[in-house]
Structure 1
Amino acid sequence: MSHIKSPKKTNKKMIRMIEAGADKEELARHADSLTKQASKQLAVLTYFIGGGAKISAAELCKKTDSSSATLKTLLKKGLLTESFEEVYRDPYQDRMFKKTEPLSLTEEQRAAFEPIKQAVADHVHHVFLLHGVTGSGKTEIYLQSIEKVLAKGQEAIVLVPEISLTPQMVNRFKGRFGSQVAVMHSGLSTGEKYDEWRKIQRKEVRLVVGARSAIFAPFENLGMIIIDEEHESSYKQEEMPRYHAKDVAIRRAEHHSCPVVLGSATPTLESFARAKKGVYELLPLKHRVNRQLMPDVSLVDMREELRNGNRSMFSRELMEQLEEKLAKKEQAVLFLNKRGYSSFVMCRDCGYVPQCPHCDISMTYHRYGQRLKCHYCGHEEPVPGTCPECGSEHIRFFGTGTQRVEEELTKVLPQARVIRMDVDTTSRKGAHEKLLSAFGEGKADILLGTQMIAKGLDFPNVTLVGVLSADTTLHIPDFRAAEKTFQLLTQVSGRAGRHEKPGTVVIQTYTPSHYSIQLTKTHDYETFFQQEMAHRRAQSYPPYYYVALVTVSHEEAAKAAVTAEKITNYLRAGCGPDTKILGPAASPIARIKDRYRYQCVIKYRQENELQIQLKKILEHYKRDIAQKHVMISIDMNPYMLM
């Protein structure tokens, strides 16, 4: 594990250092002989005569109000010497981190902390699932566990989703462990990444906090790995190599005989099923710290709003709540659920969404040809003119953007100060942090955003969370759609009422009766788990079956389709009766970079034969010169079937 290379090679940052090149007596003699015009030279010499230590050239010029030419003259005379030293590019050098002390744990936290502490002390490999509601103090358990690891002279890795690597999160770790922490995320420049990586390699830091790739940090004496928000799909890399950070973490921890802690308020079904079976050890935290109440969640049926003549994107209840919070000088977070690339068709009167009759997955709307297609098995049909359920003509495809929401907000609440956080407003380095800091300092009343505001934020004055479109994640063509919806709504709801002031959550939906939306009202993960597991069993999806995705791409659509057909037939002939193969079908994103894409989905239980067959397919297409433009990619545990 120690042979992992550092990120893209870049240059070391060298800094020019200046120190005295003669003793104080000689410097003083020279200073006395200087003319009035040489006042800058005098200032520089005086600094060193007074016992000034080695200093960077830039700092010396600043201190003595001199220039580079002054230094050049003194260097020529041999009164100063220069050298070049490497310095680290530190993205946090301008920030002071307030030192924090460990908090005393609640009884529930202590019960969860003890087994982790024991595993660290005993140096054993064990996987813990820390299942704690939002605001239950999981981070404090992480911090105190890391303290035990560092006290033993070992190292630790903490993975957090890229989206949660907020300044707040960095503050927590830097505040407790100071300069022992290296931080790795995509917001750093290449030089900063290179320097953080080399600090690890040189054993100058013993804790890495970072996104997915930080799991490869070149530590040799690992004492613990923590994966926060373990349900996050960003831990899975969608390009080659298609690794999942959780799998890598468990393998590394086995190698180092150390514990892994997976933390989440809404763990993946696979992890929770393993904990139920005793493969992982379940550590529950059912209450918020200080026994604060979970926020009060209200579901608003947008079909009713439409029937009552409200055509706005804000329900009456949400508007009343926003006005009330503005009057009280409290803050609100408005979340626009935009995850998922595809458009789906929905009836605004009854909430009906066309599903594939063969796969129980919502169908994707294709504007070209006005068709609905299933991206698992290829079934397609025309877009209905009226709703097959209720006969309404309000059946159309769904989707709205943050800019439109902001425009609407300023019309209905002109007095509200709004900060919008989306891809457009956060693309510049540091913009994410600036916007969140401004909101934290009370410079805005409403924070409006997409995924990036769903988790990791902790603002004492936020008492209202509004979810504008709960259904978007529910209807993406993905067997995990209900799970992702429940996770997201629970996470977003957890941003409200985290401190003294109680919180309210308003969720706007066209399908209020769906269990994944209903159960966010009561924050009931256990019931959701049971219902979703029954659904997965009926449809032969994970955790009952494994899933693999084979994607074929080519510049010609026909070539891609024919190759996908050949591969599917070959797999069908060679797999056992227990293996189910769906497709081939056009991928949900049918063309990327002028390459047409077709895919087939494989559901299987025993993988020995399948892996051999998939390897043969890859080797065949690598060898076959006639097929050189065909690209085959195989994902053994896809998180997105796009």
Structure 2
Amino acid sequence: MYASIIVSVSASDVNKVFEYKIPDGLTDFIAVGHRVLVPFGPRQIQGYVIDIKNEVGYDPSKIKPITRALDVKPVLTAELIKLAKDLADYYVTSYISVIETILPAALKSKSKKMLSLSEDSTEQTEVIWHGMNLPPKIEVKTLSARQLAELKPLIRRGEVEEETIITQHTKKKYARALKPTFIPRGDFGRAYKQLELLDFIEQYDEHVLQSEVIDNGYTQGTINELVKKGYVEKVDVVSGRDPYKSRVFEEDLPKELNAEQQNAYDKISHSVDHDLAETFLLHGVTGSGKTEVYLQVIQKVLDKERTALMLVPEIALTPQMVNRFKARFGDDVAVLHSGLSHGEKYDEWLKVKNQQAGVVVGARSSVFAPVENLGVIIIDEEHETTYKQQDRPMYHATEVAKYRSKYYNCPVILGSATPSLESFARSERGVYTRLELNHRAVTKTLPETKTVDMSEEHRKGNTSIVSEALREAINLRIGRGEQTVLLLNRRGYANFQICQSCGHVPNCPNCDISLTYHKMQHSLLCHYCGYEAGVTRECDNCDSDDVTFRGTGTEKVEETLRDMFNVDIVRMDNDTTSRKGMHEKLLNTFENEKIPILLGTQMIAKGLDYPNVTLVGVLNADTMLNLPDFRANEKTYQLLTQVAGRAGRHELSGEVIFQTYNPEHYAIELAESNDYAAFYEKELAFRRLARYSPYYFHVLFTVSHEQVKKCLEATTHIHKELVDSVTDKAIIVGPSPSPIERINRQYRFQILLKYKSEPNLIDVLHKINEYYNERYKKDKLSLKIDVDPKYIM
């Protein structure tokens, strides 16, 4: 028997399948999806079994054997292996990079797979275990093929269990427990509390956590007395890392659906009942009850004994979404996102792998969760660019979801109040089935929205970032005890420092970008490479002391608002949410302590649902309009509409104020009137004229090197390769410098390929990619190929 194996080496010349012989003792043990240790040159490295065959096409005597298995159960399913291969081909990346993206980080750390007797082991099993002279716990890779073969039926029956101990980032978590010995009782005399505690502990045949005993009112002294008398033993037991263990969730019962929601539910249910791989676009205004539709569809899927996958775009959205899902489905929910520790994420992943959770909720990478028998995949706020990975492998979660949907014959639901133009265009052509929710589920009307021209404000003498209309509206909410959400999509204190004598602006030495002033750290920071410089009161260029700061970020606005309104403020941006758990902590503080103002970047614009928020203000609606990207207008419209939807979601009516210097721009005007259809038509006309998506597909080539000349030579070569390989219907834009020409000491040049149909394109892309992988080895010239990019920057 032979195994086809992908080895854990990222080099391009190793991006292929290698054949290894399965040792005789492991032929019944090794399966597709197993991690194994194999000889590779002079080293022993990790690999993944992707196929098993009876013969190979060359001399078997030259094939090396697998050294040992690293797992008892395969970590990859056949479906995920096929998915990894398809994504590697489509997104022009290595097979191993996709596999390692699919698996949790903990498995890529140093880890040990341990076997031990389970609580269900029989006396016969214990005889076999001890007859092999095995210790209480034994590492899988130290077992011989004969021993593994002998233990395999015991593992299948659950009499021997497998445990992963992570030695790099985290270890299995243990907790102190108390185990009754059940020895005959002596005379307790007047020690009534000890007797009462012993009765309590003996209710548990195995053990009870010491923390639970103490929570029930017993003291450490009473526990120690029982241990001293031999009635109780202290033991350490494995305790799974559950980030929500201490939380209490109030039960949330299904709500009655309105006519629009019921229609959407019925159509999706038909797809679930008939095992159809159908993609739905659930287009509903903010507050229209999309989440309730999701929840009831998931309940239907669970009733059919299938599983559900729910994706959200931002980690900031996860706490509220988790609350709703835990309240509805309890412990049947597993949560996967980057805000968890490696250990927590691994334990949640294992919960899914072992089919102990029917519902998975998480961010982008959760689309690879090892769920089986999928019944539905839901992608909330489907328009968000965070669903597109910006590093290799540069996959898009929606495309992965559609792959998995076809494999399991289940529907995909794409939900949004502001769908991407591509998704809406597909629904217009019938590729997706569009379902409309045009009315809010609770309140009858959307919030009243108005636009303030900040140029006019300045002409009136108001130079503050807060217009008079917004100031009055905030004061009104403070007086009523209601809450306000303010958006400014720019963190830091000031955009840049400038010398008013010579005009010098300190730039990052590594990137072509000015440094942002952060007052709390009293430093100038680069938001691209992380470079940090101290703040000086003299100009580096002319030694003048006439140095000041220009522009406004969230840090400065927070200071301004405190002075203006004299109230508490919660600020949410990358600076305040970098530590674990801070998203949820800040949002809980805002809700539970009734803080008057929540100020933040775009992370607060989506998904948040608070009944007391009646005012939303956008301090600078123009932030994204001037980006050198063809999606700038679309992103502006989406952001404004989404944040406006945070106001008046329950009984109280809402108000929205946009502050802008471009009040007549159609993205802002149509966001004010919440007219998606008009925006779609207007933007589509621009896209058609400029020959962009959804009329054309795109591939972005970005070359980077420390020397400009090398970048220009490489992009010129790529341009020639494309001209020689694609049809004359394709459009090649470039080569040209990237909008930000230098990042982290690397100059960047790019080419944009636009096309409608290029049958040989994948082969062309792989050929170019392989050539520049070799170039990278020689002179560190890097090429990044982004298929279906979300940013042209």
The alpha-carbon deviation at position 163 of structure 1 amounts to 4.0
**Distance in 2 separating the partners of 1:215 and 1:300:** 41
Q: Which moved more, 1:438-447 or 1:504-513?
A: 438-447
Q: 1:463 to 1:626 in 2, by over 3 A?
A: closer
Q: 1:339 to 1:326 in 2, by over 3 A?
A: closer
Match of 1:247 in 2: 399
The alpha-carbon deviation at position 607 of structure 1 amounts to 2.6
Match of 1:505 in 2: 656
**Distance in 2 separating the partners of 1:441 and 1:58:** 28
Q: List per-residue Cα deviations over 1:406-454 (Å, max 9, x = no partner).
A: 222223323x322211122222222222221222124321111111110
Match of 2:683 in 1: 532
Match of 2:642 in 1: 491
* Alignment partner of 1:288 is 2:448: no
Report the AA paired with residue 329 of structure 1.
Answer: G
Q: List per-residue Cα deviations over 1:315-363 (Å, max 9, x = no partner).
A: 12111212222222221111113399xx99xxxxxxxxxxxxxxxxxxx
Matches within 5 A, 1:76-115: 79-81=231-233, 83-115=235-267
- Look up the SS of the partner of 1:472 in the other structure: coil
Match of 2:423 in 1: 271
* Alignment partner of 1:481 is 2:632: yes
Instruction: Tell me, yes or no, if the aligned pair for 1:466 and 1:507 is still in contact at 8 Å.
Output: yes
* Alignment partner of 1:180 is 2:332: yes
* Alignment partner of 1:56 is 2:209: yes
Match of 1:138 in 2: 290
| Correspondence for 1:65 among 208, 212, 219 | 219
Structure 2 residue runs without a partner (length 5+): 1-78, 82-101, 108-165, 497-510, 516-548
Structure 1 residue runs without a partner (length 5+): 345-363, 369-396
* Alignment partner of 1:597 is 2:748: yes
Q: 1:275 to 1:398 in 2, by over 3 A?
A: farther
| Correspondence for 2:616 among 435, 458, 465 | 465
**Distance in 2 separating the partners of 1:631 and 1:266:** 36
Instruction: Tell me, yes or no, if the aligned pair for 2:451 and 2:672 is still in contact at 8 Å.
Output: yes
The alpha-carbon deviation at position 93 of structure 1 amounts to 1.1
The alpha-carbon deviation at position 496 of structure 1 amounts to 0.8
Instruction: Tell me, yes or no, if the aligned pair for 2:227 and 2:234 is still in contact at 8 Å.
Output: no
Report the AA paired with residue 640 of structure 1.
Answer: Y
Q: 1:71 to 1:281 in 2, by over 3 A?
A: farther
- Look up the SS of the partner of 1:313 in the other structure: coil
Instruction: Tell me, yes or no, if the aligned pair for 1:621 and 1:628 is still in contact at 8 Å.
Output: no
Q: 1:485 to 1:43 in 2, by over 3 A?
A: same
**Distance in 2 separating the partners of 1:336 and 1:295:** 20
The alpha-carbon deviation at position 164 of structure 1 amounts to 4.6
**Distance in 1 separating the partners of 2:607 and 2:490:** 18
**Distance in 2 separating the partners of 1:61 and 1:98:** 25
The alpha-carbon deviation at position 554 of structure 1 amounts to 1.8
Match of 1:607 in 2: 758
Match of 2:606 in 1: 455
Q: List per-residue Cα deviations over 1:144-195 (Å, max 9, x = no partner).
A: 0001000000000000112453422211111110010001112111111011
Instruction: Tell me, yes or no, if the aligned pair for 2:312 and 2:318 is still in contact at 8 Å.
Output: no
Match of 2:175 in 1: 15
| Correspondence for 2:708 among 557, 578, 583 | 557
Report the AA paired with residue 610 of structure 2.
Answer: F
Q: 1:185 to 1:469 in 2, by over 3 A?
A: same
Q: 1:296 to 1:313 in 2, by over 3 A?
A: same
Q: List per-residue Cα deviations over 1:111-154 (Å, max 9, x = no partner).
A: 11110011111111111110000000000000000010000000
- Look up the SS of the partner of 2:186 in the other structure: helix
The alpha-carbon deviation at position 12 of structure 1 amounts to 2.4
**Distance in 2 separating the partners of 1:424 and 1:635:** 29
The alpha-carbon deviation at position 68 of structure 1 amounts to 12
Q: 1:123 to 1:575 in 2, by over 3 A?
A: closer
Match of 1:438 in 2: 589
Instruction: Tell me, yes or no, if the aligned pair for 2:442 and 2:650 is still in contact at 8 Å.
Output: no
- Look up the SS of the partner of 1:171 in the other structure: helix
Report the AA paired with residue 220 of structure 2.
Answer: S
Residues paired across the two proteins, number: 580
Report the AA paired with residue 563 of structure 1.
Answer: A
Matches within 5 A, 1:396-415: 399-414=551-566
Match of 1:359 in 2: none
| Correspondence for 2:276 among 121, 124, 128 | 124
* Alignment partner of 1:517 is 2:677: no
Q: 1:73 to 1:294 in 2, by over 3 A?
A: closer
The sequence identity of aligned pairs, in percent, is 48
Instruction: Tell me, yes or no, if the aligned pair for 1:129 and 1:282 is still in contact at 8 Å.
Output: yes
| Correspondence for 1:322 among 465, 469, 474 | 474
Instruction: Tell me, yes or no, if the aligned pair for 1:161 and 1:228 is still in contact at 8 Å.
Output: yes
Instruction: Tell me, yes or no, if the aligned pair for 1:44 and 1:60 is still in contact at 8 Å.
Output: no
**Distance in 1 separating the partners of 2:362 and 2:720:** 43
Match of 2:14 in 1: none
Instruction: Tell me, yes or no, if the aligned pair for 1:27 and 1:49 is still in contact at 8 Å.
Output: no
- Look up the SS of the partner of 1:225 in the other structure: strand
Q: 1:101 to 1:628 in 2, by over 3 A?
A: same
| Correspondence for 1:28 among 186, 196, 221 | 186
**Distance in 2 separating the partners of 1:21 and 1:327:** 64
Q: 1:166 to 1:213 in 2, by over 3 A?
A: closer
Q: 1:78 to 1:316 in 2, by over 3 A?
A: closer
**Distance in 2 separating the partners of 1:590 and 1:466:** 34
**Distance in 1 separating the partners of 2:777 and 2:292:** 59
Report the AA paired with residue 14 of structure 1.
Answer: Y
Q: List per-residue Cα deviations over 1:17-54 (Å, max 9, x = no partner).
A: 3322243xx2326x57xxx9xx8xx9667633563422
Match of 2:197 in 1: 47
Instruction: Tell me, yes or no, if the aligned pair for 2:512 and 2:740 is still in contact at 8 Å.
Output: no
Q: List per-residue Cα deviations over 1:446-490 (Å, max 9, x = no partner).
A: 111111110111111211111011111111111111110110000
**Distance in 2 separating the partners of 1:598 and 1:538:** 25
Instruction: Tell me, yes or no, if the aligned pair for 2:702 and 2:750 is still in contact at 8 Å.
Output: yes
- Look up the SS of the partner of 1:641 in the other structure: coil
Instruction: Tell me, yes or no, if the aligned pair for 2:491 and 2:555 is still in contact at 8 Å.
Output: no
Q: Cα RMSD over matched residues?
A: 2.7
Q: TM-score, normalised by structure 2?
A: 0.69
Q: 1:149 to 1:597 in 2, by over 3 A?
A: same
Instruction: Tell me, yes or no, if the aligned pair for 2:260 and 2:437 is still in contact at 8 Å.
Output: yes
Instruction: Tell me, yes or no, if the aligned pair for 1:120 and 1:258 is still in contact at 8 Å.
Output: yes
- Look up the SS of the partner of 1:289 in the other structure: coil
Match of 1:371 in 2: none
**Distance in 1 separating the partners of 2:404 and 2:572:** 36
Instruction: Tell me, yes or no, if the aligned pair for 1:555 and 1:596 is still in contact at 8 Å.
Output: yes
